[in-house]
Amino acid sequence: MSVDTETVRRIAHLARIAVKEEALEPMTGELNTILGWVEQLGEVNTDGVEPMTSVVDAKLRWRQDEVTDGNYPERVTGSAPDGDDGFFTVPKVVE
Amino acid sequence: MVEGVSKMGETTNSNLLQGVTGDWEVVVGMEIHAQVQSKAKLFSGASTEFGAEPNANVSLVDAAMPGMLPVINAYCVEQAVRTGLGLKAKINLRSIFDRKNYFYPDLPQGYQISQFKDPIVGEGEVIVDMPDGISFTVGIERLHLEQDAGKSIHDLHPSKSYVDLNRSGIALMEIVSKPDIRSSEQAAAYLRKVRAIVRYLGTCDGNMEQGSMRADVNVSVRRPGDPLGTRCEMKNINSMRFVQQAIDYEAMRQIEIIEAGGTIDQETRLFDSRNGETRTMRSKEEAHDYRYFPDPDLLPLEFDQAWVDEIAAGLPELPDDKKARFISDLGLSPYDASVLVSEKARAEFFEEVAAGRDAKLAANWVTGEFFGALNKSGLGIDETPISAGQLGALVDLISDDTISGKIAKQVFEIMFETSEDPAKIVEDKGLKQVTDTGAIEAAIDEIIAANPDKVAEYKEKPKMFGWFVGQVMKATQGKANPKAVNDILKAKLDG
């Protein structure tokens, strides 16, 4: 598997990461090297092996349906760069 | 365009839409987002209560602060399973949570935790009754659990959007149908049925105004018998009426484009409820690529069949079963039965009125006078001015011949107006039915004596009988027992 420059540009945009035009080409190369390295794993025969979902033998933890958290709007919005009247505020976004 | 839309309404018989070049079939599939009824959110201990102060029902998990980990709410899982059972669907004992990645200010994580390849509920089906008595089946593709996003408010400031995360992280069930719907009326009926099911189950309150239930609608058109056409999706529609409007408008838009030689672009369109039109929402270059991958913070969701069986054993009676029982055990007509079960609150009201009484008579009063009066005054069943017990008492007064059906309608009107008990109204207004045959006989004798011409006329025209009944009723202020009047009158006139 490999990626081309166009794909890298697109993924960067989707992830909202600013990649300079001149950096696209080298980054494509780097990513392809990484993908090639990961691809070596394909040499291992995994027939009949369950996909591993955790490195430890654990089950998903469940919580009871009880209200145990919240009610601290000032903590939630405290570190936001801008806010008003308990709300976060952001530059206007309307689709 | 608008004329086109209204014209379409007249072709409801076949569900086909008429274009300039022939008939078209509209194909609709729906994704219903139903907010799970629970106290706390899907992955945090913050409250789900509606209407709190901005950002009050938000934990640091919901605000996606660094280092926070999601822990699943057991009851939300149970509610999803319960809903799946109500949709007669396959329950998957193992399902996976994935991250659906996109950026928006009301999505602090930068991704929504959802289920992509392995949802908690698989295929099922919903039977939908149409007002004309015809039923059809909509296949369910899947139901999955996911987080709701926060809320952006755009009209509080000229250059800023305000973000409230109270809804962020509340559990949603996304119920995906197969493209089995063939008209806007069917779509609304399907949505109504799913809402009834989740309300019966108590898994979602179905309140569309508050946004606890909303629908994404996929619409395409084709020539009857052709393969599926290219679809457009309209997101986040929050009323039955808007669902119908959006489908009607969108189907005609697509037909006009194709008939003019164009092709449909697969896209997400916005339904504008102010003018009933749809318009392009996102350009194709911006089309979302969600880059789903399994959420590394969450292990697979697993439970055993015994737990599912336990939930199944505790399911309430659902609308289809209730309808069948109303028909077979209570002798109601299929139409009355489906009207009564269409909403949980209606069915409960009826069952209380009918308890220990003549069920058919109770059904007539509930579906006729009572629903009619609610409708006329624009009240929901939860705002009724009279209780089921009071309406039941009125039915009792009819059954034991205290009042006639006709007088009962008068009493009902007063009850609805004043919320008074029917027995008190009957007593206060002196509306008790006259069953004393002596009194009725006296009234009849008087009328016959005063109208010899009419008696003579009756011998020629037996239809005159009705006139005499009317006179007797008038003389007794409508309180005479109609059967007694008929019997005595017949004996006297014919004798």
Give the tens place of pLDDT for each residue, B177-227.
999 999 999 999 999 999 999 999 999 999 998 899 999 999 999 999 899
Chain A interface mutation, best of B58, B76, B82, B153, highest count of A Cβ atoms under 10 Å: B58
- The residue whose two tokens read 């049925």 is B193
Question: In what helix (H) or strand (E) does residue B235 lie, and over which residues does it extend?
Answer: strand B232-237
**CB contacts, 8 Å: A68 with chain B:** 40, 45
B-chain residue closest to A93, CA distance:
B161
User: What whole-number distance in Å separates Cα of residue B355 and Cα of residue B361?
Assistant: 12
The pLDDT score that the predictor gives to residue B8 is: 38
The ipTM of this complex is: 0.89
State the smallest CA–CA distance between residue A6 and chain B in angstroms.
13
Q: Do A89 and B154 count as a contact with CB atoms less than 8 A apart? A: no
Q: Report the greatest alpha carbon distance in chain B.
A: 100
Q: Higher-confidence residue: B476 or B233?
A: B233
Q: Higher-confidence residue: B266 or B182?
A: B182
Residue A9 has pLDDT above 90, yes or no: yes
The pLDDT score that the predictor gives to residue B7 is: 37
User: What whole-number distance in Å separates Cα of residue B176 and Cα of residue B146?
Assistant: 13
Distance of CA B194 to the CA centre of its chain: 8
**CB contacts, 8 Å: A67 with chain B:** 39-40, 45-47
The pLDDT score that the predictor gives to residue A95 is: 53
B307 touches chain A (CB under 8 A): no
B45 touches chain A (CB under 8 A): yes
The pLDDT score that the predictor gives to residue B483 is: 82
Residue B287 has pLDDT above 70, yes or no: no
B98 touches chain A (CB under 8 A): no
Pairing between strand B160-164 and B72-73? unpaired
The CATH number of the structural domain formed by A5-41 is: 1.10.20
Chain A interface mutation, best of B41, B44, B49, B59, highest count of A Cβ atoms under 10 Å: B59
Q: Do B160 and A84 count as a contact with CB atoms less than 8 A apart? A: yes
SS3 A64: coil
State the smallest CA–CA distance between residue B295 and chain A in angstroms.
10
User: What whole-number distance in Å separates Cα of residue B142 and Cα of residue B106?
Assistant: 26
Written as six digits, the tokens of B427 are 């007593």
CATH 3.20.20.80 fits B437-494, yes or no: no
Residue A39 has pLDDT above 70, yes or no: yes
The pLDDT score that the predictor gives to residue B13 is: 44
Of A11, A14, A53, nearest to B300 by CB-CB distance is: A53
User: What whole-number distance in Å separates Cα of residue B451 and Cα of residue B489?
Assistant: 14
B-chain residue closest to A56, CA distance:
B299
User: What whole-number distance in Å separates Cα of residue B98 and Cα of residue B370?
Assistant: 49
Q: Do A70 and B298 count as a contact with CB atoms less than 8 A apart? A: no
Q: Higher-confidence residue: A61 or B284?
A: A61
- Name every residue whose Cβ is closer than 8 Å to that of residue B71 and which is 6 or more positions away in sequence: A61, A62, A63, B43, B44
The pLDDT score that the predictor gives to residue B2 is: 35
State residue B148 phi and psi, 5-degree precision: -80, 160
Of B75, B154, B294, nearest to A65 by CB-CB distance is: B75
Instruction: Return mean pLDDT, chain A.
Output: 91
Contact B394, B422 (CB under 8 A): yes
Bridge partners of residue B172, in order along the sequence: B35, B146
Q: Report the greatest alpha carbon distance in chain A.
A: 59
Of the pLDDT bands very low, low, confident and very high (cuts 50, 70, 90), residue B118 is very high
User: What whole-number distance in Å separates Cα of residue B40 and Cα of residue A67?
Assistant: 5
**CB contacts, 8 Å: A66 with chain B:** 39-40, 45
Q: Do B45 and A69 count as a contact with CB atoms less than 8 A apart? A: yes
Chain A contacts in chain B segment 341-360 (CB below 8 A): none
Residue B469 has pLDDT above 50, yes or no: yes
Best CA proximity match to A80, nearest among B186, B35, B493, B63 = B63
Q: In this structure, which long-range contacts are made by residues B14-21, counting pairs with CB atoms below 8 Å and at least 24 apart in sequence? A: B15/B182, B15/B183, B15/B186, B16/B224, B17/B221, B17/B251, B17/B252, B17/B255, B19/B255, B19/B256, B19/B258, B19/B259, B20/B259, B21/B259
A-chain residue closest to B301, CA distance:
A60
Residue B4 has pLDDT above 50, yes or no: no
- Domain range annotation of chain B: 2-310, 317-429, 437-494
User: What whole-number distance in Å separates Cα of residue B377 and Cα of residue A16?
Assistant: 54
**CB contacts, 8 Å: A75 with chain B:** 60
Of the pLDDT bands very low, low, confident and very high (cuts 50, 70, 90), residue B452 is confident
- The residue whose two tokens read 């609308």 is B319
Chain B contacts in chain A segment 4-33 (CB below 8 A): 10-11, 14-16
Of B44, B105, B301, nearest to A60 by CB-CB distance is: B301
A91 touches chain B (CB under 8 A): yes
Q: Higher-confidence residue: B1 or A56?
A: A56
Contact B126, B87 (CB under 8 A): yes
The pLDDT score that the predictor gives to residue B282 is: 60
Percent of chain A with pLDDT over 70: 99
Rounded average pLDDT over B121-134: 92
Digit-coded pLDDT (tens) for B326-360: 999 999 999 999 999 999 999 999 999 999 999 99
Rounded average pLDDT over B389-395: 95
Digit-coded pLDDT (tens) for B22-46: 899 999 999 999 999 999 999 999 9
Number of neighbours of residue B82 by Cβ within 10 angstroms = 23
pTM: 0.84
Best CA proximity match to B45, nearest among B27, B57, B30 = B57
Residue B406 has pLDDT above 70, yes or no: yes
Q: Do B73 and A70 count as a contact with CB atoms less than 8 A apart? A: no
Residue B6 has pLDDT above 50, yes or no: no
Chain B contacts in chain A segment 43-82 (CB below 8 A): 53-54, 58-71, 73, 75-77, 82
Residue B160 has pLDDT above 90, yes or no: yes
Of A62, A63, A70, nearest to B47 by CB-CB distance is: A70
Q: Is the dihedral of CA B323, B327, B329, B331 positive or negative?
A: positive
Rounded average pLDDT over B260-277: 89
**CB contacts, 8 Å: A13 with chain B:** none
The pLDDT score that the predictor gives to residue B317 is: 96
Instruction: Return mean pLDDT, chain B.
Output: 91
Distance of CA B128 to the CA centre of its chain: 11
- What CA–CA distances, in Å, run from B257 to B17, B19, B251? 14, 11, 10
State the smallest CA–CA distance between residue B345 and chain A in angstroms.
26
User: What whole-number distance in Å separates Cα of residue A5 and Cα of residue A25?
Assistant: 6
**CB contacts, 8 Å: A89 with chain B:** 157, 160-163
Q: 3-state DSSP: chain A helix, strand, coil percent, rounded to 5?
A: 40, 10, 50
